[in-house]
Homo-oligomer: A and B are copies of this chain.
Amino acid sequence: MSERLIVIGGCAAGMSAASKSRRVNPDLDIVVYEKTGFVSYGECGLPYYVSGLVADHHKLVARTPEQFARRGIEVHLHHEVIEIVPENHRLRVTNLDNGESWYENYDKLVIATGGRPSLLPGFSLGDLSGVFVMRALEDGIAIREFIQRERPGRAVIIGAGYIGLETAESFHVLGLETTVIGRPPQVLKRFDLDMAKLVQDELEGKGIRLSLGDEVKALEGDAQGRVRRVISSKGTFEAALVFLALGVRPNVALAKKAGVTLGETGAVATDAQMRTNLPDVFAAGDCAEAYHRITGRSAYIPLGTTANKQGRVAGTNAGGGHAEFGGIVGTVITKVFDLYVALTGLSEKEAQALGYAVKSTTIKASSRAHYYPGGGPMHVKLVAEEGSGRLLGGQIVGGEGAGPRIDVLATALHKEMTVEELSELDLAYAPPMSPVWDPLLVAANVALK
């Protein structure tokens, strides 16, 4: 009889694990249980579906259950795994459509239960209509339908992280007067304040209202239970639509109950092969920690890229192959209107909080040769260890070239480069894409002074 792999969760990590284990082991029985109505969708695309830039939500789906079936991967939607019994290699599933539950056996198990959106303390999502989170594809569909149907004039986004800001742009595109309330005194809290301010200027320049260093006290509704305003420590904001973008926590209740060890971050702890402490049980994606190459510790930075890589590793090992996850350096990027905003490694404040003696350098350069039309400013911040000169992190805010340029710094971090080595890089130059001294080299040269 074939071995049976069960994957809990059809998100990026889960489907990567399923696909990879299929390639590694053609004989494996592979079953995926997914709570929602979709697998393998581009969660990061939801803000662009809400704005209408992506017209059809089917476009966000990379592969349907039918397509997975043709690869010999059995996907069950609206099925929730509610219990794992590791001693017996068993688990219990509920069909959410009809309420039936049953036990079944696994030989290998991949936990890819993902993350769940944080909520306001003391507030449940059903309390008022017009209040949304965005995690499942259904969430995006619900927000878009709500906007089309209710035509809310004013929206408040609570949370000034990536999803909050990307969705602020989407709301703005749809003509909504949009306010973003954030508890930290800046947007994008991992970034240093000097870089975050550039983003804040961009947002306010486009007409987004920001209320930062502000704490939400209550959501108030009308007699019909429709949200109408947000009460914060700084004031009252009228809103017919409230989007909670308070970040994501690892969805680990099931794993924890089964005896899976969690790490300090609260997410599932794994080894480099994505094995949990339980035999034959792997974890991957937004429910799991990731090894951070700079700090040498486990981190919780839930992202699709990491989820996909971890899923492949878990799937390879679950299928009987061998793979190890190389870890992260904490690279993130977001597009905020016309700015790309990217970070890799540690920001200055993150490095300081970890006890590093830090030397930071911030420069503003042009994205193109000075004579070539269409260039714009590019802001680069390098964070290095005082003394050794080892690069600890970088932040870039600028036009389209900012994105792949952060990847140069991410690559440098993977290989523990110093700022001096960075300054020696033989980077490409053509007038339409950079000045003869690439902004990264300018930053490195200034840092060396």
Chain A contact residue count (CB 8 A cutoff) = 67
Contacts of A414 in B (CB 8 A): 417, 421, 424-426
Contacts of A426 in B (CB 8 A): 293, 305-306, 327-331, 344, 410, 414
Taking a contact as CB atoms under 8 Å apart, the answer to whether B344 and A428 are in contact is yes
Contacts of A412 in B (CB 8 A): 411, 415
Taking a contact as CB atoms under 8 Å apart, the answer to whether B305 and A371 are in contact is no
Q: Is A103 in contact with chain B by the CB < 8 A criterion? A: no
Q: Is A174 in contact with chain B by the CB < 8 A criterion? A: no
Residue of B whose beta carbon sits closest to that of A333: B428
Q: Is A237 in contact with chain B by the CB < 8 A criterion? A: no
A327 to B401, CA, bound (A): 25
Given contacts A326-B421, A400-B400, A424-B327, contact A304 B371 (CB under 8 A): no
A402-436 CB contact bits vs B (8 Å, 1 = yes)?
01111110111011010001011111111111101
Given contacts A371-B60, A408-B408, contact A428 B42 (CB under 8 A): no
Q: Chain B nearest CB: distance from A364 CB in Å?
A: 17
Q: Is A438 in contact with chain B by the CB < 8 A criterion? A: yes
Taking a contact as CB atoms under 8 Å apart, the answer to whether B427 and A407 are in contact is yes
A434 to B339, CA, bound (A): 15
Q: Which A residues lie at the B interface, using CB under 8 A? A: 12, 42, 44-45, 48, 53-54, 59-60, 62, 293, 303-306, 308-309, 325-335, 340, 342, 344, 369-373, 400-401, 403-408, 410-412, 414-415, 417, 421, 423-434, 436-438, 440
Extra contacts, 8 of them, besides A44-B430, A327-B426 (Cβ < 8 A), are: A45-B372, A305-B438, A401-B403, A403-B404, A404-B408, A404-B434, A405-B407, A411-B415
